[in-house]
Amino acid sequence: MAQELGTSRRGFLRTGGGFLLGGVLAQLARASEESVPSPPSPAPNNLPVIDCHAHAGIARLAGRDIDLVDPWYAVADPEVILRHAAEVGIDRTVIFPIENTTYEKANEDIAQLCRRYPGRFVGFAKHNPLTEKGRLRSLLLREYHELGLRGQKLHQQPTPELLDVVKELGIPVLYHPRRVALYEEFLPSYPTINFIMAHLGSDTSGNWHEHLAAIDLAKRYPNVYLDTSTVVLTSYLEKAIQELPPERIVFGSDEPEVDCRMEIFKIRVLKLPKEKEDLILGGNMLRLLGGRI
């Protein structure tokens, strides 16, 4: 059965995802908004709760020999994100595409979801500096000015072509590096860009040394922020909160494959002073977005 699923999904998505787009996203467009509960309204003068890290949409990976059964190579359902967020009082969720070969269409999907659920999502563009080389400036300018996307997500090492336009737009970058040390290759040249390091430097705490490296990097570069998503070894999350100013930590979950209800508990269970918790859970991300949510 698993083999049949993998084979069918592989053929399905290698067509470019058109049928899936016409199915999943079109169904979302027809669905009643009442199917997704609204989060509780923040109390007056309270900062919003913002999840800085979630994936949405479909994969378009034509010609790539990968296992499309893996969730990050298939579909990320935005309604799952919204249901989970509503249960724990998350007001906004930053979403960006899952894996694609190039991202122009995927970023348009993100903008469509932001329009479909106004006030619930903040859209980030995602790009591959290698497969989209030579087009990054025109793509990002359109995605910011016309589509309303408010940041950049990266898995590949950024290039000057990409970072120059990011600097021009004044948007934050959420970067998931293979190694924390890769940040050192570009940070000195771009001191005015705010970088959010995904997963406190190590997805699912796969290498605890990288958590320490991320904390050290944030101490040395004031434009580096640490995202709390998928930190399994929570002592390093506590260490980051203890050793860095609260303004340098931002809450994230990695929805929908990682449950934001669990991820936000890791912050709330620490019983931090309200001012510090409010910054981590939303105030810092609101500032990084220039107040535009």
What confidence score (pLDDT) does residue 53 get?
A: 98
In the prediction, which pLDDT does 61 show?
Answer: 67
Distances in Å between the Cα of 148 and the Cα atoms of 45, 65, 90, 249 are: 26, 33, 21, 25
Q: What pLDDT score was predicted for residue 148?
A: 98
Q: Which CATH architecture is the domain 2-31+49-288 placed in?
A: Alpha-Beta Barrel (3.20)
Residue 36 is predicted with a pLDDT of 60
Record the tokens describing residue 129, joined without a space: 């500096």
What is the DSSP track for 104-150?
HHHHHHHHHHHHHSTTTEEE-EE--TTTTTTTHHHHHHHHHHTT---
Q: How is residue 10 written in tokens?
A: 């592989």
Listed in sequence order, the DSSP H helices in 146-221 are 160-169, 208-220
pLDDT under 50 in the chain at which residues?
1-24, 27-34, 43-44, 67
Q: Which stretches of the chain are assigned E, i.e. beta strand?
A: 50-58, 75-76, 92-97, 121-123, 125-126, 152-154, 173-175, 195-197, 224-227, 249-250
Residue 55 is predicted with a pLDDT of 96
- The secondary structure of residue 23, as a DSSP letter, is I
In this structure, are residues 148 and 119 in contact, taking their beta carbons and an 8 Å threshold? no
**What pLDDT, on a 0 to 100 scale, did the predictor assign at position 99?**
86
Q: How confident is the model at residue 243, as a pLDDT?
A: 98
